[in-house]
Chain A
């Protein structure tokens, strides 16, 4: 086997791996602070991509860097609205089933809205993050590099937020014990709204970054959304470093698997891993016990 081919596969797998890692972080922070799995998270990513590409770039013709900022602001507001209108009420329900159904139907509503506003025809943003460059024998696409760099920046920023700032510390308090957090004068609901808004921002970032990889349509994020779920379990459910490890290992393994199995079936790798991990090591690769 040619070593260069393997390295090439690892590099492109790494970029997708970071995408999965971000996806799994984005839903893990919501899960940690509300106890709800956001089953509409792939629709959040889809909305992010549509707001950026459909609204700002194609309809309004804004410069890309400005569009990125505008999308992030829009998604922040979107996150707050969804949190106030849907997640906070659902969090207080007696049974988590209703909450899960709530998020499933929220996803449907978002898909329908996107279809009605921007149309169902798939489209692309021509020339956005296109191009490649070479390091030795290995060809790296520009988008892979940008995904890796941006993901590391997002992860660092999130880490800084959670560890160093007052808001982030409050978020971690809310994750651990809502009663105690409330007694210490933290406004639990506002804090959760903020967490969901941050999650929505990460979704927007993912949505923008995957535009060059896929065509923009209503199911742009279904696959990465599902693999993000798998990544979370593989690394260790509800544990942020686990999410990163899980995401990257899925991304790389999936790409390497194309050496052995037909490319069509590479999407099955993530779920196969998920079931194997549940059977032999339910606490995940990092073995973190919550």
Chain B
């Protein structure tokens, strides 16, 4: 009975939250705030993807910036150079994301170990080098300008408020899809791979295929996020897509709470909005922010969400890995 009540409370809470998000731009008409909100929504999309491979499956993806850049540039190029409608561009970005997931996932996830981190870092760097140097196609360091805004069947989303509602719709759909996936068979296998890979193998599940699936979800959402970013800003530039950006997405995923959709939303909002609130720290902002993130990694690795769910047992640093029989002298 209690469980049922809790479900109703949760549903009312979610509905209220969505309502507040819908009304917010009408109350606060500052268009700069709307741009930040749009940025947050884009980040939520990317982090939802990253959550599948890094949060749930436990494989480190450090190339989110490169994946996002691929999505942003492919959609932008399709709509500027080839002149297709933006929605086609978004679809192309999704297809590219799917291909990326397969092409990068296959060599690095067949093997056990840390190879995914290394390939994704390398991939991200190559992507940045190419978009910086292939001036005729990508505009080099000048970036791609005049990327068209999204138009829905003739209705152009030319102001940040209109974009906000469209993106909010996409994010809500994706959040529900993601939380369904997490609760489905796929999600359970992902978590099982993170927690005990040998047990998964013993149950007759193809670990490599599942990992590639998780990574493909991540690249699809990453590319979609990139494309959304490009059409929101109407301008992309290679200096956006650096290693720092990849680290930022990790921070978003971790600060909010690894492996949960609410955690991803909290984390993305925090990391995107906090810089605006911490403007007064100026020079020291990144330093303080990184220190906070490091402390989170050590003391609250499951993020802010774990404060509410009580799932804090994982990874307190004074609990040693007694499972592996390692003795500690501290």
Contact = CB atoms under 8 A, between A and B. Distances in A.
Among B194, B254, B319, max chain A CB count under 10 A is at B254
Given A104-B250, A105-B297, A116-B284, A264 B60 contact: no
B62 interface: yes
8 contacts: A39-B117, A89-B298, A102-B298, A106-B294, A108-B244, A108-B247, A116-B287, A278-B107
Interface string B44-68: 0000000000110010101000000
A113 B286 CA distance: 10
Contacts of B106: 279
Given A179-B326, A187-B329, A230-B122, A92 B107 contact: no
A275 B192 CA distance: 27
A100 B111 CA distance: 19
Contacts of B129: 264-265, 267-268
A190 B294 CA distance: 22
Interface residues of B, number: 57
A179 B121 CA distance: 33
B118 interface: yes
Interface in A242-290: 264-265, 267-268, 270-271, 274-275, 278-279, 282
A282 B111 contact: yes
Contacts of A92: 317-321, 328
B243 interface: yes
A66 interface: no
A97 interface: yes
B111 A105 contact: no
B119 A112 contact: no
A95 B125 contact: no
Contact of B294 (A86, A93, A278): A86
Nearest to A99: B297
A141 interface: no
B122 A90 contact: no
B58 A97 contact: yes
Contact of B297 (A102, A229, A265): A102
